Amino acid sequence: MVRLKVTISFLGLNYEGWQKIKGKKTVQDTLECAIAYIDGSEVSVVGCGRTDKHVSADHYVFHVDVTKDLGEAQWLKAINARCPNDIHVSEVKVVDESFHARFSVKKKRYVYTIRTGNYQVKNITHEYFHRYPLDAQKMIDAAKSFVGTHDFTGFNVTPKQLKENQIRTIDECHVSVSNDTIVISVLGKAFLQYQVRMMVGVLIAIGSNQEDVDFIDKVLSQKQKGISRFKAEAIGLTLKEVFYD
């Protein structure tokens, strides 16, 4: 057996997310079908994490064990030839079996792009268009509250019965503004279900004057589900980078 570490990018618009769902078109299932055809045997593709329906990735990593030793360059060409145009392999590396696409991750960076002015139609596949003005300075100030180690119970939908420990560390949560575009960058090791989208959702609410800047601190301190009802649309979210040793 040969273990391959594969780096890809994909456009999430036409997929129900990364994870396989019976009867649904997903990125994982598409890749498994392509690689199984090339390898001539059933394969299991293991990703660096789940992505929601319509979420895209500029840098996503998975590993897969195959029987054929085609070489890195040939595997890259073969997988791309079997994949649709909205999934693209940029690198294939033969790695030791100790490498695990998910458990070896050190950090992941997600980026959320908000367009507040006129938009280019070609960008609606990966940008969220917000029709009303946003107070970017309030969003910049509020985002600082997410940085550090906190109990994110109020900013995700993972049930406590499924994952009791909902403490996570956010290394960076940065809001930048350029003309009619607001970009929110979030860096951390691990995230709970909808965590990034709910973090972005409350920043949009604060920028829309629906909540005060200190609302994030209140939710974090209360450690309860349902206090914050905000969740950003999936379409604006992109997995930007995955970091390994």
For the stretch 145-166, what's the b/e string if a residue is b when 16 or more beta carbons lie within 10 angstroms of its beta carbon?
Answer: bbbeebbbbbbbebeeeeeeeb
CA distance 117 to 226: 31
Annotated catalytic sites, by residue? 52
> Which DSSP string corresponds to 148-162?
EEEE-GGG----TTT
Please report, for residues 15, 159, 242, the alpha-carbon distance to residue 230 in angstroms, rounded to integers and kept in the order given: 23, 17, 26
Question: Measured on CA atoms in the order 171, 96, 63, 61, is the torsion positive or negative?
Answer: positive
Cα 244 from Cα 5, distance rounded (Å): 12
